[in-house]
Chain A
Amino acid sequence: MKKITTPLTDEIIGSLGAGDEVAISGIVYTARDAAHKRLCQLIEQKKELPIPIEGSVIYFVGPTPAPPGKPIGSAGPTTSSRMDSFSPMLLAAGLKGMIGKGYRNDTVREALKKYKAVHFAALGGAGALLSQYIISAEVVAYEDLGTEAIRKLEIKDFPATVAYDSTGGTVFKE
């Protein structure tokens, strides 16, 4: 198990190979389909993004509402491939990591190589378990999207597997 901390540097990225189990700590931002669409529209219009993108990690998740006394509800990954058409643009803007479940397409894999970034797989359907690694959560953009709003999460030793590394490798059977 490799312990890594965000933001991700080229050195960290270079040390990660497909199949590596990692424990991620630091800040990550949540975004699903609707937020991705808005972020990419801003990039196209050359406008400022509501989150720092350089070195950042985006977690594809739409959590359940936080019950009393907890920072967040259940918070496991959603299907990564729905973000395939948006991720290359964010990678070009400096995004260094993504956390989701399932496969990425070839365009994303090429972009991971080109921009030196990685994609992590978290355990799909284990939202209760994964929420235990989230220390705090705060909506930072697109509050109108409800569960799909962008949240800033502080995570500690969040378990994930390197699903696609920066050299074209993948943990999935091809």
Chain B
Amino acid sequence: MNMRTVKSEQIASAVEKLCIQSCLDLPKDVLDALQKAEKKESLDSAKKILNQLIENAKIAKEQKLPICQDTGLAVVFLRIGSQVKIEPQDQTISDAINKGVENGYEKGNLRKSVVAEPLNARKNTQTNTPAVIHTEIIPGDKIHITVMAKGGGCENKSRFKMFLPTDDREKIIDWVTQTAAQAGANACPPFVIGVGIGGDFEQCCLLSKKALLRNLNSQNTDPFYGQMEKDILQKINSLGIGPSGLGGDTTALAVSIETAPCHIASLPVAVNIECHAHRHSSIEI
């Protein structure tokens, strides 16, 4: 098998750029969704807030200021071709990614929001590392990297539940809707809702995060789940929470469901709540 050599520096510099870009430049599908929601929104005060969010994205891009001061935990989705070799060999690809995150958060004037351990000293690492890295091996000699800057306020409102394998879709729709309701104003609505159904305990949670990476205009390719996405979105938007939690029709911009096979005894469901500052960027090396 022919191996392709990629320098670890090249990966670090790509990740550095992705961190800065994702925090300053709201993806086009998210901006479009905010604009579409602003047109459709029936409550004037909610329209005004949506306009402020659009204005905020504009200022961020023009003045190179982060869209939100919580520039998040860097969640990195890495898909690496089986024919890729990293050089120098004493460095792992995780080292390269963390170097890139550290440089990106420093050079981009982004906030460092990571503590070294969770319960005792909670000391800030001052580098925003380590990143959370999810790796997948794919065929070929390319590397795909996606960086998501995930805020704490919305992540805190995410939930997981084991349903009974005999439970029906309505039960899940209700619970996902309730999850958005309990997130409310605290998680900066309008939300993007990532739903994982199936897999096991940890795979299900990862699916819900991966679901967030889908284009907001896309639907699950299985019509059953595509319809479920629409139904959940409609239910969440009838809650009346609205932008910033101050009322309105726009509580969520999109719902994405991703699924995986699971055990005969299980029906795990995870909801990853994402705020309107839905920041992610990708690159192929």
Contact = CB atoms under 8 A, between A and B. Distances in A.
Q: Which of B65, B69, B110, B188 has the most CB of A within 10 A?
A: B69
Contacts of B247: 173
A74 B65 contact: yes
A75 B53 contact: no
Contact of B68 (A76, A171, A173): A76
Contacts of A129: 52, 55-56, 59
Interface in B209-263: 240-241, 244-247
Contact of A64 (B52, B111, B276): B111
Contact of B53 (A64, A123, A132, A147): A123
B71 A102 contact: no
Q: Which of A101, A103, A127 has the most CB of B within 10 A?
A: A127
B124 A101 contact: no
Interface string A6-46: 00000000000000000000000000000000000000000
B172 interface: no
A49 interface: no
B109 A123 contact: no
B111 A65 contact: yes
B143 interface: no
Q: Which of B55, B156, B241, B245 has the most CB of A within 10 A?
A: B245
Interface in A66-81: 66-67, 70, 73-76, 78-81
Given A127-B66, A127-B68, A64 B153 contact: no
A65 B246 contact: no
A128 B113 contact: no
B69 A74 contact: yes
A126 B110 CA distance: 15
B6 interface: no
A49 to B, nearest CB: 23
Contacts of A161: 246
A121 B246 CA distance: 9
Interface string B49-89: 10011011101100111111111000000000000000000
Given A125-B188, A126-B56, A131-B65, 19 more contacts: A62-B69, A62-B113, A64-B66, A64-B69, A64-B71, A65-B111, A67-B109, A73-B69, A74-B68, A101-B186, A102-B185, A102-B187, A103-B245, A124-B275, A125-B151, A126-B52, A127-B69, A128-B59, A129-B52
Interface of A: 61-67, 70, 73-76, 78-81, 101-103, 121, 123-129, 131-132, 146-147, 161, 171-173
